Amino acid sequence: MTPNTAKVSGDPYEVLCAFLKKESGLIIDAQKRYLVESKMQPIIRREGLNGFHGLVDILINNKSAPLAKEVVETMTINETYFFRDKVPFDKFSQVVLPKLIETRPAYKTIRIWSAACSSGQEPYSLAMILDQMKAQLGGRRVEIIATDLSEAILAKAREGLYSQFEVQRGLPTPFLLRYFDQKGDKWQIKESLRSQVQFRRLNLLGDYNAIGNVDVIFCRNVLIYFDNAGKREVLAKMRRNLANDGFLMLGASESVLGTSTEFVADPMHRMVLSPADANLGAARRPAVAAPATPAALRAAILAG
């Protein structure tokens, strides 16, 4: 790419922050200027751009979609580890899954969505729990859909290859020995477990139709980077995908207080949230996969 000399009006740092918010929902405050500039420097140098101004000019004038994607991905925070915070996974195995097994007919697939899955530790932790609970599941099918904004992090997630440091964070040793193969100085999730997770790119600011109706959503440690309007938008959309008697799990430091009236926390299990309108009977909001008209409903019943 040739050096770009076009002028950007206003502070290019602020323009970049507005761009990041629009593309990903991420809010970056004024104190992060140095961090943002240092993260952008390698891209600016590699592309031979006219400094920060040159980069921002390319972004706001849509001159390079791949570069815009790279800039957004560079700014995402991918911190994650196996069984992160432990409690949500305990709640999943002790409260959520038993409830779903009790309330769902055996032929019905249980669908779990790990939104903002980063390098895969969250959905693979869920897959390990499901394997441990095979007997209780009694042959019932479970699907895990794991999504993230970043293609680069999804490629790592799909490969399921982790360093010694990564498998030492949160993963019980018996699980390491049971569910991983050693590959040189790294560890790879066994194919049998990898094949249980479908990884797909999805921007939480986009639409969720491709996800369909799900029973459980893990949406942890991503909404902390959004402003209230962004959080509200995501939670409202998630409500439409979640079964009326489904469950939403947020991160340890996240809550819906002051941002959403769509969900309520279980008083006994703080991190487990349910749709707030779950007890409204016929007035409940239909989930996305529900037939929209009486004719479609009749056809669905006839189709079994």
Interacting residues toward ligand SAM by CB under 6 A: 24-26, 76-80, 84, 116-118, 122, 148-150, 153, 203-205, 220-222, 251
Closer residue to ligand SAM in complex, CB, 49/271: 271
Closer to ligand SAM by Cβ: residue 79 or 207: 79
Contact status, residue 210 vs residue 200, Cβ threshold 8 Å:
yes
Contacts (Cβ under 8 Å, ≥6 apart) of 8: 15, 53, 56, 57, 60
Q: Write down the least CB distance from residue 284 to ligand SAM, Å.
A: 27
Q: How far is the CB of 254 from ligand SAM (least distance, A)?
A: 10
Quote the least distance from Cβ 201 to ligand SAM, whole Å: 8
**How far, CA to CA in Å, does 99 sit from each of 90, 118, 160, 220?**
13, 27, 30, 21
Three-state DSSP state, 259: coil
By beta-carbon proximity to ligand SAM, the closer residue of 4 and 118 is 118
Q: Which is nearer to ligand SAM, 103 or 163 (CB)?
A: 163
Q: What CA–CA distances, in Å, run from 267 to 12, 35, 65, 271, 273?
A: 46, 39, 46, 9, 9
Least Cβ distance, residue 145 to ligand SAM (angstroms): 13
Which residue number, 4 or 76, has a Cβ lying nearer to ligand SAM? 76
Residue 30 has which token pair?
Answer: 């004024």
Min dist CB 6 to ligand SAM, Å, is 28
What is the DSSP code string of 23-85? HH-----GGGHHHHHHHHHHHHHHHT-SHHHHHHHHHHTT--HHHHHHHHHHH------TTTT
